[in-house]
Chains A and B, each alone.
Chain A
Amino acid sequence: MFKDITLGQYFPGDSPVHKLDPRTKIIGMIAFIIIVFFVKKVMMFLPVFLFILIATYLSRVPMSYLWKSLKPLRFILIFMFILNLFVIGTGETLWRLGPLHITTGGIRQAVFITVRLILLVSGTSLLTLTTTPIGLTDGLELLLTPLKKVKFPAHELAMMMTIALRFIPTLMEEADKISSAQISRGADFETGNIVKRAKAMVPVLVPLFISAFRRADELAMAMESRCYHGGEGRTRMHVLRCGRNDFLAACALLLLFAVVLAGGLLL
């Protein structure tokens, strides 16, 4: 019952996009988000879509994976679209029924919100699909390193994220095992109302928490006995390097930004 939960959705690959420095991809994704919000004309969504399509093509991640990450959002997307369509009252009124009305401004807003959401989710999905969780935390740590000057615990934060990610599958497996054991003792997780079902989870959650604490304790011991003492003076196994492709990716994003800005001014 817990085995099906997957966090992170890395799609293993060897493409130019996979090989980009995680820092490039993180900054690139932030830049992409900003670009999406700079789009002022519907037509200007086209180059942004084109960018995502090309990036997906280069990454060799099947389109269906991107689609899969959008699917859970379909209800929110439809809801946002309908809400904006009927609530926004700017522009010419095209149709009216009591308090409900559709205006040109409403249509525009509804389209904008929906398209923006789709683009944002696709962009971030592409990042998590092409970057290992470890790569992401590594990149994040290095990006946050300058903040160490103001006592920001960049290394500790990254280490915590790495450990958390590492232990998700372990804890899932453990939860599975404990719930099997409790089912063997007659526990019933499947019938009854919400309150009863929540109560039925206690025999699983208590042992799970205890084991999580035990594991944390053991891991801390194991790390300390291998002389771990925080990030200071620690070298890395995989040194991140920016190369030609990172430069090209940055150029592509700058170009996209320029196109979007120019489109907004000229059209």
Chain B
Amino acid sequence: MNKAIESIKVSKRFGEVVALDNVSLEVNRNEIFGLIGPDGAGKTTLFRIITTLLLPDKGSMMVLGLDTHKQYRELRKRIGYMPGRFSLYQDLTVEENLSFYATVYGTTVRQNFELIADIYSHIEPFKKRLAGQLSGGMKQKLALSCALIHKPEILVLDEPTTGVDAVSRKEFWEMLKKLKEKGITILVSTPYMDEASLCDRVALIQGGKIMDVDTPRRITEKFPRRIFHVSSDEMHRLIRDLHQFAKTDSVFAFGRYVHFTGIDDEVETSELDKYLSDQKHTNVLVEEIGPGIEDVFINLMGQQ
């Protein structure tokens, strides 16, 4: 059986801007594949090429074994796409939106209801409400239901959790896991690094280039250095002082902590403790941690 997605040296530019640069990528059937990268990295462009909405300038894109250029008609029936912008009709009710998308794909809500029953149950109490009046989380569930109503083999979700609260995000990822169990391949993009660990495999994308593709665990294992998270009462001075420390390679703020990597792996927690105490920092905490996707990302960006 062919791959769910096979991207071969795909390039796309808009005028002077290079959106995708020689992107080669394979997504296996029935996996949750994450595309991780900051805004403007080329995630949406790649997804639009996958969903046949854009043609690559160079290279070829095969989805479900079909060419996105020549066989787009056939392909459009088998892909479920949830664009990054909320793309439902705000002046139609929840119910009307769902049945509209069902008819457009030549099916009915009842026929495939079993697939979305779980998701739809969250919004069913509001089915008479106009889609424009739903909360962010509910809009997202409705959009997902609409993208699923024709029972697609592959689901392409462009930043589905952007602008959605933490609880809804968690629920959303649980839904994706259940969909995967039903045999659907899921391609999802996100700017949130913490969501990367919920994918089976991820690709890190930056400036139109794929930097790495692997399982989240293996990606973090590849991180070359030991990493410490450090905190004290004075965050800003802490960052400044660490930058002046002789053995510092990189310092990045991560919420309440600072992630520190040394020039080599010889740096010990006690050394840092001592240095910071000498700088009169109070409540100093230094602890070695495992690297996260974000650390890898920043490291890779630094290398470019």
**Does A associate with B in a complex?**
no
Residues of B within 8 A of A (CB): none
Residues of A within 8 A of B (CB): none
